[in-house]
Chains A and B, each alone.
Chain A
Amino acid sequence: MKNRLKALRADRDWTQAELADRLHVTRQTINAIEKGKYDPSLPLVFKIAALFGLPIEEIFSPDTD
């Protein structure tokens, strides 16, 4: 699953640690999501969408291959 988390975070000038703090997860989780090494759970996806005020499909998209 691809995502725009890094770009959205950069737009707001947040560090990975700051975003992690807002989402109540560890910084390593944010790093793994941004690098595409971990697909977040549905509850976390909803939290991310709510935090950025965007629909889920504008942040996450399925891998086409």
Chain B
Amino acid sequence: MTDTRTETSLQAGLKKSTFQLFLATGAWVGSTALMSFGPSAIWGFDVAVTFLAIAVNLTVGSFMLYSFFKHLKNMDELQRQTHLEAMALTLGITMVLTVIYGALPQAKVLASTQPANVLFVIGISYILSVIALWLWRTSE
């Protein structure tokens, strides 16, 4: 038990890691856009440049992951528990909904599926899970 942080420093640490995560996520979104639209809009499908853009995206993505872990470690233990449970819920929800979504073209309900739509399911499930779990645990 070497944790000597006060609540003020706890909040300061969280604020700092939130800002780092914000920057890392912004950089990742930017590098993803470059990787996706760069080949057609900027460098005319040059494969070498595309591989470079992929390498940049992987590097920035790794930094985003590192920033997220750092952010998680800076949290108070109830906040951390809430986020970990939200991640577990998100994994389950995404798995179930992705299987259903994948079956829709076969059932002729949809013409095709877009893998990127799974990201929306992940994002929405995670946000709603965090809010619901936090409200349930902290309601007065």
Which A residues are within 8 Å of any B CB, using their own CB? 20-21, 24-26, 28-29, 31-32, 37-38, 40-41, 43-44, 46-47
Residue of A nearest to B136 (CB): A37
Q: Say yes or no: B77 contacts A24, CB within 8 Å.
A: no
Q: Say yes or no: B138 contacts A28, CB within 8 Å.
A: yes
Q: Say yes or no: A28 contacts B78, CB within 8 Å.
A: yes
Which B residues are within 8 Å of any A CB, using their own CB? 1, 3-7, 10, 76-79, 81, 136-138, 140
Q: Which 10 A-B pairs have the closest CB atoms?
A: A29-B78, A28-B138, A26-B76, A32-B137, A37-B137, A24-B5, A21-B7, A43-B1, A25-B76, A41-B77
Q: Is the interface of B mostly helix, strand, loop or mixed?
A: helix
Provide 14 A-B residue pairs closer than 8 Å at the C-beta atoms, listed in order of the A residue.
Answer: A20-B7, A24-B3, A24-B6, A24-B10, A25-B10, A25-B76, A25-B77, A25-B78, A26-B7, A26-B78, A26-B79, A31-B140, A32-B78, A37-B137
CA distance A40 to B81 in the complex (A): 10
Q: Is the interface of A mostly helix, strand, loop or mixed?
A: helix
Q: What B residues does A40 contact at CB under 8 A?
A: 77
CA distance A31 to B138 in the complex (A): 7
Q: Least Cβ distance of A63 to chain B in Å? A: 17
For B76, give its contact among A21, A29, A37, A46 (CB under 8 Å).
A29
